[in-house]
Each structure stands twice: as structure tokens, then as C-alpha cells.
A and B are shown apart, each in its own frame.
Chain A
Amino acid sequence: MAADDYTLIGRPIPARVDGAGKVTGLTRYADDLFPARLLYGKLLRSPYPHARILRIDTCKAAALPGVKAVITGADLPRPFSIMPVNQDEHALAIDKVRYVGEPVAAVAAVDEETAEAALHLIEVAYEPLPPVMSIEEALAQPDNRIHTYNRVGNVHRVVALEFGDVEAGFAEADYIREDTFFFQGNTHLPMEQHAAVAHCTPDGQITLWSATQTPHYVHRALAAVLDIPPSRIRVIATPVGGGFGGKSDPFAHEFCAVKLSMLTGRPVKICLTREEVFYAHRGRHPVLMWIRTGVKRNGAITAMHFKSFIDGGAYSSYGVATTYYTGALQTVTYRVPNYRFEGLRVFTNKPPCGPKRGHGTPQPRYALEVHLDKIAEDLGLDPVQIRRPHLAKPFSMTVNHLRITSCALDECLDAVVKRSEFLQKHRRLPFGKGVGLACSAYLSGAGLPIYWNEMPHSGVTLQLDRSGSVCVFCGAVDIGQGSDSVLAFTVAEELGIDPRDVRLVTADTGITPVDLGSYSSRVTFMAGNAAIVAARQLRERLFAAVAEHWGIPARHLRAAQGRIFAVTDPSRSMPFAEAVQRAEAKFGTLSASGSYTPPPLAGKYKGHGVGPSPAYSYTAAVAQVDVDPDTGWVTVEKVWIAHDIGKALNPYLVEGQIEGSVYMALGEVLMEEQVFRRGVHKFPSMLEYKSPTFLEMPEVETILIESLDPEGPYGAKEAGQGPLLPVIPAVANAVYDAIGVRLDEIPITPEKVLKGLELRAKGQVARLGPRGIPAFAFPPPRCVEVPEEWLVHLPDAKTRRP
């Protein structure tokens, strides 16, 4: 089918099937659920960053009228974590607390005020321990251990990998440059505070409604922590009021709500306060980075060595994956023939970090793209010249064994350079005005699940009704990215019906086939493919029945506009519902399932589980800034962004994802930071955690580039995370273009800019950023040979040379 034949796909039709519910207030988020006999749960949290728990006395709290249950760590002794390795968290702390805000006890009471009052009656005796609050402190205090299961000090994870021959690569280089960068941590700040409602009914069934991006993983974790067969547990992800990665872990409030409901037999709701959301965190890791690159005079990279020092906070969470991600995607945008990556994640006494939009890749992307900007300047090249000839090629392998399929980064780069008139502006605007450029790539879904298994990553079941309506069952969660709409549009496109005749049942582990969750930008790609498979099976059956009725071959039939047509005889058509009835008469009740499993992409070396994806999206961005030289104030005037989406299933949805990514990037680069003082989060509030408003958001020119990925649904790739990546370095590079000051530290706040301007005025090095990296002896790298063929064979698509 040629692209032009689509009725819904790619068309600017109303963006969302869930729109009407959301604009009328009918959509029910987790905290909107008020089942009968509801109890309110609250968590007591640690006021110490690091302390031993000596005693917890809950007697007075339990005796308070209206309190129905009080629990502590002893009631939920089994550990958990999102990753199978390092199961180091407990729903409620046992023996020790590791950050201010860590839950230590929970109560359920008839109302929230009583629950809150009960928390004040719980007596906890702590023995404070010295807190470890930074990467440097974590490495400097190996004997002040936050955990003991890890091998050394406060080092959670060490990675050292080498691909090709890095020393030889550096020897070949005409020019070598080293830089260090720091990317401060920040948080997701979804508008919806995390909430969950649990109900354990007398038949022994447990249902949890939760604002989660990963109901399947929560399901597994609940079964493990509560020691209950998973078959008795049903997790329903409610529409999520913003996630961005922040609702991808199983959380204390989910376990506690369930446990409290088991103890009381009544539904229990726990909704976090805004302050508590900052403690739940799992946000962007602070990362200190060092990068050394060798290049030829023309900018071709001969070797790259990248080190990341990652502040993980108190628990592992997704941290093992994060560690690898800080080294994985450097090779996916530019050809890097020899590459060494050393990564280190430490524990600190802060809320655990985890995946935030771009998971572990925005920090190194920022470092790499600013580093390239500096190399270009050193070599007398412009930012386009150093990138354009050396971009990754479609249908190639990277040195670290990542398979690239479609790739239109060249078109993306050309588009933003042209539309922004970058070359006419770069180094030519008046002092205080500047433009910056950067490129990036991101996964369309992780190639591997979080726990090892060979089952599909996404499943869709369709059920056809005689009325002509279709019900879609899929485990995918709509967190605002539009996955419900993608499912509806895909099924409607395949069956030739109106999306309004598609009903959706999603994200319910008791009913829907598993989809692994809304993380790693995987849903459109994987659930979309699964939906196509399922819908095509049903269509075949419909066509078989209609073909039999008309006595023509099924291959002559098409489904469109709510009818089945004979292409050979346009006068012949039948309403969709009638076709369903004929098919049901012929085959019995009509349903079909489809699933999607990524092709085998990994396995060559340990650590290769992180990075492979069935397809990479590509992005290029140009930012134009105004810097006030008296105040250091940076105003982003405009962003041009071109994104290789593969195929835009719905342009409004895709643009929305891109604009939202630009917004989140601008918050991170200019003002957002999660910082601590005296062991405590400095400002856990919406007022003081600076999230940009309408007035800070510049106009964005979005350009969609369609490279039609051979494996994506209709050729589509991701759009939810990748577009965040280039915006941060583009702004940093633009600030340099404007005032000649290098901001090698994120966020770029006015005081840092002003300090840089003062250094510049004094004739000193006009740079703000880390002085160096800690002395840490990484183990010898695991050496991995370069892939034999830098060439990709796709089973059903073209084979192309790089």
C-alpha cells in the first residue's frame, strides 16, 4: 500500500481518541477514584538522609480513633527493584534509611487528616549516620557505606568497554581534545501527583489502580513483595497525568496501599503530596563526564573515550541500565570507529534517580555535542562541517554493535540549518545573540525487556462485534503520549472503519495482553506492530467471508470508509458490520491476537542489553538565544527542530511530542535542578522548582522527516524522547555563539553566565564547568571486536551498503 492510500495514518485528523474525556473532566485519574468505604493511606518518611532505625513504635498511632491499620518494614520484608539485579529496595525501610523522604511506616485511616495525625504519633528512634551527598563524597568515603551488597564502597556499578582499538585510533588522529562536563539532576514534575488505590476483596483477589507507566512490572513486583501468586493480582494503570519516566518504577505507596487493604479489607488510596513526589523522584541522574576525541582535520572521528560518573541516589532503580545508557548512543549519530566507555554509578543519600525522558542519554549527548562544537572551532570548521560528512549511515552497524536501520539525520540536519539560516547567523550575529546546533538519536523501544524472557514485548487482542465495533485489548498505558490514539488509528486504518467505532481496553493486567509499559519510547513501535498483525488477521477472515459471498477472490477486496469494496468492481460494496456478521457466521466469534517481539539484536557482549533497538529516531535542532550581557539572562528566542519520525502516524500527536520535548529540554538547560542542602531537598515545591511557564516557551518550528523505517508500523519510529536530546546542547552552543562563554555545566543559570562574562572581561578562560574528574581506577575494559560486516541485512527489506 502506498503512503497516499492511508485514510487515517499520516492525516491531520483529530489527534486524540481520549480527547473528549480529557476536555470535559470525565477522564478518571487514580486520585479521582472514590470507591465505597475508602480508607486514606499516608506514608511516614525519614527526616534523616542516612540513619539506622533503632526502633519503631506504632502503638499510639494504631490506638488513634479512625486509624484502621499501621504497617512498618517488618510487614513487607521482601525486597524489590525494577531490575532483577540489585533488588535493594523495601516498600518501607528496614533497619536503615538512606534519604530524606524514604518511607518508614504507613497508616490507613478513615480520612486523610486522621491518617496524617497518626503519622505524628509513630515514634521512630534513629541513629544518624554521616550522609554522602555527592559523587565526590561517595568516592572519598568508601567506608561510610550506604549499602553493603555492592562490592566496593559506595560504587553501585562499574562498566568498562572497548570497541575496536582506541589507542590506534587516537594515534591516527590529527587532533585530540578533552573536555569535562557536569549535568545537574532534575526531576519529571508530572502535573499529576502519584496515586494508587488498592482493593483486596474477600475472594482473595487484589486490584490495584495506579498512575503507573509500567503496570506489568508493578504486577510482578507486587506478587514478589507480597508473596502472593500473580494470578490473584490485577493492576490497572489509570490514565497517567504525566509520567516522563517518573512513574516507571514500582513505588512504596503501591505496595503499602495493597498491604493496608489486605489488612483492613477496605479499599485504600494513597495519593502523594507534591513534596512527596520530589522524594519519589527517579529523575535525571547528575552526571559528571569526561570525553576525549581524536579527529582527522576534516572532523572525521578516529577514536572516542567517554567516562561518566553518575550520582545514583540511594537505590539502584534503573541505574544499571542508566549507566550503560550514558555510553551507548554516542556511536549512533556519527561514525565512531574506535570507542571506549567507562561508566561508574555511585550511591548517595538522596532520592533514587532513574529514567527521565531520554534515560541516561541527554547528559552524554550534551557533552558530546558541545565537545564537537569546540573541536570544530579548534579545527576552523563550522558546526555543520564537523557533523555533516560523518553522520551515521542508514542500514549500518555501529562499532558497539548497534544495528541502525532507517536514518535520515542528514535530512534533519540540512532542514534545520536551512530553515534557521544557521550558517548566515553563526558567529555573525551581534554580541549577545547566538545560534547553536546539535544532533541526536534515540531508541524506538529497548530491544530487550527488563527481565530476561523470550515472550513478546507487546500484545494486542481484537474482538469484533456484530454492530461493526471493534474492541482493542492491549496492555499499553496512555501517559499522554497518545498510545490509545495510535492503537485506535492503526486498527481503524487496517479495518477501514471510523476510529470512533474502536473501543479500547488498555493497561489492565487482568484483562489485556502484556505490553511492557510506556518507557523507552517503545509503545507506538511495538504495540502498533502488534495491532497491525491482529487487525490483518481479522481482515483476512472478513475478506474470506465476503469473497465467498460475492464469489470473487479475497485479494480483490479492500476495507475503507466503513465498507468492504471489490477493487475490481467499485459498484460492489458491503457495510463493515455486514461483513462482520458474514464472517462470524462462517468462522464463529471473531477475535484475533497479534504480538510484537523485536528481532534478535543483542548478545555479543555483556552489557549489550542496553542500547539495541529495532529502530533509532534521529533529530537535529538549532536554538537561537539572546543573552543579556549585564544580567546573564538567557532568552531562547526560537528553536528549529527536525525529527526523523520514520512516519508520522498523526502529525498533531508527533508535533505535540516534539514540542513537549523541546519544552522539557529548555527547562533542564536553563532552570530546573534537583538540589540538596543539609541533606534535604532544597525546595520540594512547584514554586521553587522552576518549571517554565507559557512566558518562557519560545516558538518552535517543527519539521517532520519521514524515512519510513522498514520495521516500524507504517514506517513509524519514536517521537516522545529523542527530540529532547539535541535542544540542551544547541542552547549551550548558542550561548557560546552569543557571548563567547562556554557553559560546561547544566543548568545554564544567569549567575553562571554572568560569572563567565566576568572571566571573559578579565581575559581569563571564559568557561564554567567542572575542573576535572575524580581519580578512579576503572578496571581494564572488556574488549569487543568491531562487527565484521558494517552492513545490515533485513529479512524483508533492502540491503544497503553504508
Chain B
Amino acid sequence: MKTVVRLRVNGDEVEVWVPVHKTLLEVLREDLQLTGTKHGCELGECGTCTVLLDGQPVLSCLVLPIEVQGQEIVTIEGVAAGSELHALQAAFAELGAAQCGYCTPGMILTALALLRTNPAPTRQEVKEALAGNLCRCTGYLKILDAVARAAASLKDGSSYGG
């Protein structure tokens, strides 16, 4: 069953003609060329494909586009303000919190949702918020540092906060 789905992705209204059983992950990557959303298992077991849905992190591998019409979807491509990196992106790049970079989009989006509701999280709160995102490269520590740095620079107002 193919259907027309209208999505709001990174502030843009888009319309796609897709099989209804195609997941949001597949549609983002294959129909909208938004390949910044990665995948690691397609079963909800790794967090790699995280996107924001109305500001909340969800796994795009287990979401049907038809179910989220009219909701605001943000992918990694929608995080920077034009060519200006978000404070989280800048901190991840500077500290080497992205090594292979494959988990990074999901990590940044999950952290973004956290900082929007909790602008000054403790290290433990960051760990709990990001516990659904696996990373095999970093040992997570540089990621924790990057989120802390981003939170601090957003508090200063010295960085773009999205």
C-alpha cells in the first residue's frame, strides 16, 4: 500500500509517495536524501537512528511516517543554524566526541532534547538521558565533556542554541 505522506522535516513541509510500511528512517534516507540519520540495527537496540519528534528523541527505525504527519521532525541536518554550528556540534567536533562519527547524529539530537528541558544537567543526568545511544569508539567520556561544554556555552549565551 503506497500513500502520500506529508511531513514537517527540519521546518520544511515535504510530501512523499511511499509504501506505508517504509519506516521514517528509510524515508529520510532514501526518499529525502537526509542521510545524516544513520542506522545500526533497525530494531530499536542501539539509538543510532534517533531523530526528534516534537522535540523528543525517538527511533526513526520504529516510526511510520504516516503516524507522524503534522509533527515536527528534526534530523541532524536541521540542528545547525545555517552555516553556524549548534553549541553541541561545535563541542563534539572540538573535543573529539565524534570519533568515527557514526553514532554522533543520534547522540547530538538526544543531547539537544536534554539541554532544551534541562539546560544545566549533572553528569549523571546526561548519562541517563544518553543511555539509549550506544557508541563503540569514545568510551562516552568525551561526549559527556562535550555536552557539559555546550551547556556552559549556551548558558553564557556565547553560542548558538538552536
Direct contact of A and B (CB under 8 A): yes
Chain A positions near chain B (C-beta within 8 angstroms): 14-16, 18-29, 31-32, 34, 188-193, 239-244, 273-274, 479-482, 650, 652-653, 655-656, 659-664, 685-687, 691, 693-695, 697, 699-700
A25 to chain B minimum Cβ distance, whole angstroms, is 2
Q: Judge whether A14 and B38 touch: CB under 8 Å.
A: no
Q: Judge whether A697 and B139 touch: CB under 8 Å.
A: yes
B76 to chain A minimum Cβ distance, whole angstroms, is 4
- Chain B residues whose C-beta falls within 8 Å of the C-beta of A192 in the assembled complex: 38, 40, 100, 102
Q: Judge whether B130 and A694 touch: CB under 8 Å.
A: yes
**Known interface pairs A191-B135, A242-B102, A663-B138. Does A25 touch B42 (Cβ–Cβ under 8 Å)?**
no
Q: Could you say which interface size class chain B belongs to?
A: 35 or more
Residue-wise, chain B 54-80 has the 8 Å CB interface mask toward A (1 for contact) of 000000000000000000000111011
- A322-B134 Cα distance, complex, nearest whole Å: 29
B75 to chain A minimum Cβ distance, whole angstroms, is 7
- A24-B133 Cα distance, complex, nearest whole Å: 17
Q: Judge whether B45 and A480 touch: CB under 8 Å.
A: no
Question: B76, B138, B140, B141 — which one has the most chain A CB atoms within 10 A of its CB?
Answer: B141
Residue of A24, A242, A695 touching B100 (CB-CB under 8 A) = A242
**Known interface pairs A25-B77, A191-B134, A686-B134. Does A700 touch B101 (Cβ–Cβ under 8 Å)?**
no
**Known interface pairs A19-B94, A24-B85, A239-B100. Does A700 touch B139 (Cβ–Cβ under 8 Å)?**
yes
CB-based nearest A residue for B109: A25
**Known interface pairs A192-B100, A686-B43, A695-B127. Does A25 touch B95 (Cβ–Cβ under 8 Å)?**
no
CB-based nearest B residue for A666: B139
B23 within 8 Å of A (CB atoms) = no
Q: Judge whether A482 and B99 touch: CB under 8 Å.
A: yes
- Chain A residues whose C-beta falls within 8 Å of the C-beta of B89 in the assembled complex: 20, 23-24
Q: Judge whether B35 and A240 touch: CB under 8 Å.
A: no
Instruction: Apart from A14-B94, A23-B92, A32-B35, list 11 A-B contacts with CB within 8 A.
Output: A16-B96, A25-B34, A191-B48, A191-B100, A480-B100, A650-B96, A686-B43, A691-B136, A694-B143, A695-B127, A700-B139
Residue of A16, A24, A699 touching B80 (CB-CB under 8 A) = A24
Question: A26, A27, A479 — which one has the most chain B CB atoms within 10 A of its CB?
Answer: A27
A407 to chain B minimum Cβ distance, whole angstroms, is 26
B5 within 8 Å of A (CB atoms) = no
Residue of A240, A241, A274 touching B38 (CB-CB under 8 A) = A241
- Chain A residues whose C-beta falls within 8 Å of the C-beta of B75 in the assembled complex: 25
- Chain A residues whose C-beta falls within 8 Å of the C-beta of B30 in the assembled complex: 34
B41 within 8 Å of A (CB atoms) = yes
Q: Judge whether A19 and B102 touch: CB under 8 Å.
A: no
B84 to chain A minimum Cβ distance, whole angstroms, is 11
**Known interface pairs A15-B94, A23-B92, A24-B79. Does A656 touch B99 (Cβ–Cβ under 8 Å)?**
yes
- Chain A residues whose C-beta falls within 8 Å of the C-beta of B39 in the assembled complex: 31, 193
- Chain B residues whose C-beta falls within 8 Å of the C-beta of A18 in the assembled complex: 101
**Known interface pairs A191-B103, A242-B100. Does A659 touch B139 (Cβ–Cβ under 8 Å)?**
yes
Q: Helix, strand, loop or mixed for chain B's interface?
A: loop
Q: Judge whether A25 and B142 touch: CB under 8 Å.
A: no
- Chain B residues whose C-beta falls within 8 Å of the C-beta of A655 in the assembled complex: 96, 142
Cβ contacts A to B, 17 pairs, < 8 Å? A19-B92, A19-B93, A19-B96, A23-B98, A23-B101, A24-B36, A24-B85, A25-B35, A239-B101, A242-B136, A244-B136, A655-B142, A656-B138, A660-B99, A664-B136, A664-B139, A686-B45
- A16-B99 Cα distance, complex, nearest whole Å: 8
Q: Helix, strand, loop or mixed for chain A's interface?
A: loop
Q: Judge whether B92 and A29 touch: CB under 8 Å.
A: no
Q: Judge whether A28 and B35 touch: CB under 8 Å.
A: yes
- A5-B85 Cα distance, complex, nearest whole Å: 31
B161 within 8 Å of A (CB atoms) = no
- Chain A residues whose C-beta falls within 8 Å of the C-beta of B139 in the assembled complex: 659-664, 697, 700
Question: Which of B17-33 touch A at CB < 8 Å?
Answer: 29-30, 33
Residue-wise, chain B 98-120 has the 8 Å CB interface mask toward A (1 for contact) of 11111111001000000000000
Q: Judge whether A274 and B100 touch: CB under 8 Å.
A: no
Q: Judge whether B102 and A241 touch: CB under 8 Å.
A: yes
- Chain A residues whose C-beta falls within 8 Å of the C-beta of B144 in the assembled complex: 694
Q: Judge whether A190 and B41 touch: CB under 8 Å.
A: no
- A685-B133 Cα distance, complex, nearest whole Å: 15
Chain B positions near chain A (C-beta within 8 angstroms): 29-30, 33-43, 45-46, 48, 75-77, 79-80, 85, 88-90, 92-96, 98-105, 108, 126-128, 130-144
Q: Judge whether B94 and A660 touch: CB under 8 Å.
A: no
Q: Judge whether B85 and A20 touch: CB under 8 Å.
A: yes
- A92-B10 Cα distance, complex, nearest whole Å: 43
Q: Judge whether A694 and B140 touch: CB under 8 Å.
A: yes
Q: Judge whether A25 and B134 touch: CB under 8 Å.
A: no
**Known interface pairs A24-B80, A239-B101, A660-B139. Does A16 touch B43 (Cβ–Cβ under 8 Å)?**
no
A764 to chain B minimum Cβ distance, whole angstroms, is 37
Q: Judge whether B141 and A659 touch: CB under 8 Å.
A: yes
- A694-B122 Cα distance, complex, nearest whole Å: 14
**Known interface pairs A34-B30, A242-B136, A480-B137. Does A23 touch B142 (Cβ–Cβ under 8 Å)?**
no
- A18-B101 Cα distance, complex, nearest whole Å: 9
Q: Judge whether A25 and B41 touch: CB under 8 Å.
A: no
**Known interface pairs A18-B101, A660-B138, A663-B138. Does A652 touch B96 (Cβ–Cβ under 8 Å)?**
yes
- Chain A residues whose C-beta falls within 8 Å of the C-beta of B140 in the assembled complex: 659, 663, 694, 697
- Chain A residues whose C-beta falls within 8 Å of the C-beta of B141 in the assembled complex: 659, 697, 699-700
**Known interface pairs A23-B89, A25-B35, A656-B99. Does A685 touch B79 (Cβ–Cβ under 8 Å)?**
no
Residue of B79, B80, B131 touching A693 (CB-CB under 8 A) = B131
Q: Judge whether B134 and A22 touch: CB under 8 Å.
A: no
Residue of B93, B131, B135 touching A22 (CB-CB under 8 A) = B93
**Known interface pairs A239-B101, A659-B139. Does A274 touch B33 (Cβ–Cβ under 8 Å)?**
no
Q: Judge whether B131 and A694 touch: CB under 8 Å.
A: yes
**Known interface pairs A481-B99, A482-B96. Does A191 touch B85 (Cβ–Cβ under 8 Å)?**
no
- Chain B residues whose C-beta falls within 8 Å of the C-beta of A274 in the assembled complex: 40-43, 45-46
- A492-B42 Cα distance, complex, nearest whole Å: 41
Q: Judge whether A695 and B131 touch: CB under 8 Å.
A: yes
**Known interface pairs A25-B35, A34-B33. Does A691 touch B134 (Cβ–Cβ under 8 Å)?**
yes
CB-based nearest B residue for A694: B127
A187 to chain B minimum Cβ distance, whole angstroms, is 11
- Chain B residues whose C-beta falls within 8 Å of the C-beta of A687 in the assembled complex: 41, 43, 45
Across the A-B interface, the 6 shortest Cβ-Cβ residue pairs: A25-B36, A19-B93, A480-B100, A22-B101, A241-B102, A663-B139
A623 to chain B minimum Cβ distance, whole angstroms, is 14
- Chain B residues whose C-beta falls within 8 Å of the C-beta of A663 in the assembled complex: 136, 138-140
- A652-B91 Cα distance, complex, nearest whole Å: 12
- A135-B135 Cα distance, complex, nearest whole Å: 32
Q: Judge whether B40 and A659 touch: CB under 8 Å.
A: no
Q: Judge whether A480 and B99 touch: CB under 8 Å.
A: yes
Q: Judge whether B77 and A693 touch: CB under 8 Å.
A: no
- Chain B residues whose C-beta falls within 8 Å of the C-beta of A191 in the assembled complex: 38, 40, 46, 48, 100, 102-103, 134-137
- A780-B80 Cα distance, complex, nearest whole Å: 66
Q: Judge whether B93 and A659 touch: CB under 8 Å.
A: no
- Chain A residues whose C-beta falls within 8 Å of the C-beta of B136 in the assembled complex: 188-191, 242, 244, 660, 663-664, 691
- Chain B residues whose C-beta falls within 8 Å of the C-beta of A480 in the assembled complex: 99-102, 137
- A21-B43 Cα distance, complex, nearest whole Å: 26
- Chain B residues whose C-beta falls within 8 Å of the C-beta of A699 in the assembled complex: 141
Q: Judge whether B100 and A240 touch: CB under 8 Å.
A: yes
B111 to chain A minimum Cβ distance, whole angstroms, is 11
Q: Judge whether B100 and A15 touch: CB under 8 Å.
A: no
CB-based nearest A residue for B107: A23
**Known interface pairs A241-B38, A653-B96, A685-B45. Does A23 touch B85 (Cβ–Cβ under 8 Å)?**
yes
- Chain B residues whose C-beta falls within 8 Å of the C-beta of A22 in the assembled complex: 92-93, 98, 101, 104
- Chain A residues whose C-beta falls within 8 Å of the C-beta of B105 in the assembled complex: 25
B128 to chain A minimum Cβ distance, whole angstroms, is 7
- Chain B residues whose C-beta falls within 8 Å of the C-beta of A482 in the assembled complex: 96, 99
Q: Judge whether A652 and B134 touch: CB under 8 Å.
A: no
